[in-house]
Structure 1
Amino acid sequence: MYVGTQLGGDKFAEVGDRYLRQLAQLGVRHVCIDPAGSAYGWTREVLARHIERIDKAGLVLDMVQLPLPSSGVDRSEAPAIMLGQDPERGQQIDGICTLIETLSGLGVASVKYNLNILGIPRTASERGRGGALLSTFRHDQTSDDTVLTRAGLVDADESWERITYFLERVVPVAEANKVRLACHPHDPLTRPGYRGVDRVLGDAEGLKTFVSIAESPYHGLNFCQGTIAESLDNPRDEIGAIIRWFGSRKKIFNVHFRNIKGGRYSFTEVLPDNGDMDMADSLRIYKEVGVDCMIMPDHVPDIDGEAPFETAFAFAFGYIIGLFQANGWDPYGA
């Protein structure tokens, strides 16, 4: 395992090659950075130029994001998959399979994705350490409980049918091409029927069911430690056993190494040193069970300064690298 990071194509277009050089200077070698534009337009030529650009900065493209974003069906390039709409979902899945084959041919061995209808619900942000603005969710403060997405009412059985339909068609293609599929949990766990949807991938039990569908060494998780903590009553005491369960079964293909304060239905997102979980202990468990992937920051607070995004992520990189070195491990993936 080794330190890494991620950046969407639109954000990459904003920060450009200067940020790639900054990552290399900070000791971050492995990345998940997408080309700009629609994933369905990522031809072999587009992706090859993108890989060359990443390589020129001294970085390695470990992973990209499939056109199934965390933002949910209302902003997805492939909405029919989670809407269960035929024949469109078959066509969209075919496009994803083609993309997986192209990435394999270019040496990109992992992709991440979401099977998400609602996006990432949050309530009003709250202030944290030093006045930093923290992404927050308080289920008892939500005001949109009955506001439906274009998906309408989707119960647990319908959610599982759509997820299974996708996996049964995509996992064999990923396995044939030796590309690991890393799915992100539903962020956060919400009460059944919230906005008309039963979210089935919001906790460890749902994720255990998920990884048992279409069993394959190429079918696993973008293991967001923060999201899973959001589903727990006591994240500090419970997270270790969950890491061990998925890690020992080789189902962790990427780690979002972030911390929270709070737990089920009520939390704030904080920098990794400032939350309820013992992140040093978590990293030791990832190592103990043989996790082999990027350990990356995610969802940093909004802080002050001229470059708040870069500064907050630089702090998180330094924190992760420090934990590696304190244990005598190489954080750079050399």
Structure 2
Amino acid sequence: MYVGTQNAVKTDDEYRQFAQLGVVHVNADPDGNPHDWTLDILRRHRERLEACGLVLDMVQLPLASRVVEKSQSPDILTNGPDRDRQIDSICRLIENVAAAGIPSVKYNLNLIGIPRSPDEAGRGGSRNASFRWDKVDQNAPPGLAGVLSEDENWERIDYFLERVVPVAESNKVRLACHPHDPYTPPGYRGVTRVLGTVAGLKKFVQLRESPYHGLNFCVGTVGESLDNPREEIGPAIRWFGERGKLFNIHFRNIKGRRLSFMETFPDEGDMDMWGVLKLLAELDYKYMVMPDHVPHLSGTAVAAPAPAGGDHPQHAATKSNDAIAFAYCFGYIRAQLQILKEQYPDRIEM
């Protein structure tokens, strides 16, 4: 287990800054459309990061977080006419990822983005992303994704997994799927989301069972789906960890519960994040632990506050600079891993 990052940067100096902070493992994508990533592009990208002192653990598959424009619509999720061609392209991409020496990919199966209500004041006046069901338009009309029932959602997910999981398994590439963030009641924006609960995630990882089919487990997102996050997050992590279904950890905390929460720094929320890391070490989790969303600090250029029912601001087009907040989280994780290494010297990488 080791600290990682998915923060998008462009220059070699920015990549080297991660290594200087002790963040050696990264999820980082080459430029361009992932459907166009050739073996040569992926290999040169990995070699570039290695020259900066980093290890390329993961890249992201071309499955959008939201359907914004029809031209961007992932037919895999909307059952469009190009679905099979897009799936075939992803299968070829997985083969190239393996040949380039990259061990895992992350993705999501999300159609309505990351809904949030307006930001709220956090510690010291930071601006924190929040979701209050009573502050969003509960009757918002369907978007470009249209109306999607639970059964149809599962059918589309299984259609994708049936074709992609065998390719990942034969190439030994781990598929790490992110849960739907946050849990939303059935039919919100026309879509009944099925990966927004622990029960749904359990069903998901048991579809097309494979040691290479698992989760990009977001502690914050799963906590957002629970009635008592502090007490319930540990049993959820244990269930997936004991079955080898944890391939990446988003280390994020919240204050609140299902349908009413605010995102926080890891040390101030309702969940015991030290307990989370201890449990991961006990389960011999072997991969990255990374910050995900962070509160916006004063003085940084951030996106406008998310409107009621709007998408998470860190997933919108923005020039946000939250490097200080992320550096704090990197240090918090590394300090805890350093303590855990005394108890588990062979399970923690520093």
Decide which moves more: 307-316 or 161-170: 307-316
Task: Find the counterpart in structure 1 of residue 43 from structure 2.
Answer: 48
Matches of 2:283 and 2:244 in 1, distance apart?
8
Matches of 1:191 and 1:18 in 2, distance apart?
44
Matches of 1:225 and 1:306 in 2, distance apart?
26
Task: Find the counterpart in structure 2 of residue 138 from structure 1.
Answer: 132
Query: Which residue among 198, 206, 217 is the counterpart of 2:200?
Result: 206
Unaligned runs of 5+ in 1: none
Matches of 1:49 and 1:106 in 2, distance apart?
9
Query: Which residue among 275, 288, 296 is the counterpart of 1:294?
Result: 288
Query: Which residue among 152, 157, 162 is the counterpart of 2:151?
Result: 157
* Aligned residue identity for 2:48: R
* Aligned residue identity for 2:229: P
Q: 1:42 deviation in Å?
A: 1.1
Q: 1:297 deviation in Å?
A: 0.5
Query: Which residue among 153, 163, 173 is the counterpart of 1:169?
Result: 163
Task: Tell me if structure 2 keeps the 8 A contact 1:235–1:276.
Answer: yes
User: Are residue 21 (structure 1) and residue 16 (structure 2) matched?
Assistant: yes
Task: Tell me if structure 2 keeps the 8 A contact 1:111–1:180.
Answer: yes
Task: Tell me if structure 2 keeps the 8 A contact 1:28–1:332.
Answer: no
User: Within 5 A, what are the aligned runs for 1:1-334?
Assistant: 1-7=1-7, 11-13=8-10, 16-69=11-64, 71-74=65-68, 77=72, 79-86=74-81, 88-143=82-137, 145-305=139-299, 308-327=321-340, 328=342, 333=349
Partner SS, residue 145 of structure 2: coil
Matches of 1:178 and 1:326 in 2, distance apart?
32
Unaligned runs of 5+ in 2: 302-320
Matches of 2:348 and 2:103 in 1, distance apart?
18
Q: 1:175 deviation in Å?
A: 0.3
Task: Tell me if structure 2 keeps the 8 A contact 1:29–1:58.
Answer: yes
Matches of 1:126 and 1:178 in 2, distance apart?
43
Task: Tell me if structure 2 keeps the 8 A contact 1:184–1:223.
Answer: yes
Task: Find the counterpart in structure 1 of residue 315 from structure 2.
Answer: none
Task: Tell me if structure 2 keeps the 8 A contact 1:153–1:196.
Answer: yes
Task: Tell me if structure 2 keeps the 8 A contact 1:72–1:118.
Answer: yes
Partner SS, residue 108 of structure 1: coil
* Aligned residue identity for 1:292: K
Per-residue displacement from partner, 1:169-198 (whole Å, max 9, x unpaired)? Answer: 000000000000000000000011101110
Per-residue displacement from partner, 1:281-306 (whole Å, max 9, x unpaired)? Answer: 01111111121110000001111246
Task: Tell me if structure 2 keeps the 8 A contact 1:181–1:219.
Answer: yes
Q: Calculate the TM-score normalised by the size of structure 1.
A: 0.94
Per-residue displacement from partner, 1:213-268 (whole Å, max 9, x unpaired)? Answer: 00000000000010000000110011000000000000000000110010100111
Task: Tell me if structure 2 keeps the 8 A contact 1:27–1:332.
Answer: no
Task: Tell me if structure 1 keeps the 8 A contact 2:183–2:224.
Answer: yes
Matches of 2:95 and 2:166 in 1, distance apart?
11
Matches of 1:57 and 1:332 in 2, distance apart?
22
Matches of 2:262 and 2:41 in 1, distance apart?
38
Runs of 4+ residues over 3 Å off in structure 1: 75-78, 305-308, 329-334
Matches of 1:18 and 1:283 in 2, distance apart?
30
The aligned length equals 327
Q: 1:12 deviation in Å?
A: 2.2
Task: Tell me if structure 2 keeps the 8 A contact 1:73–1:83.
Answer: no
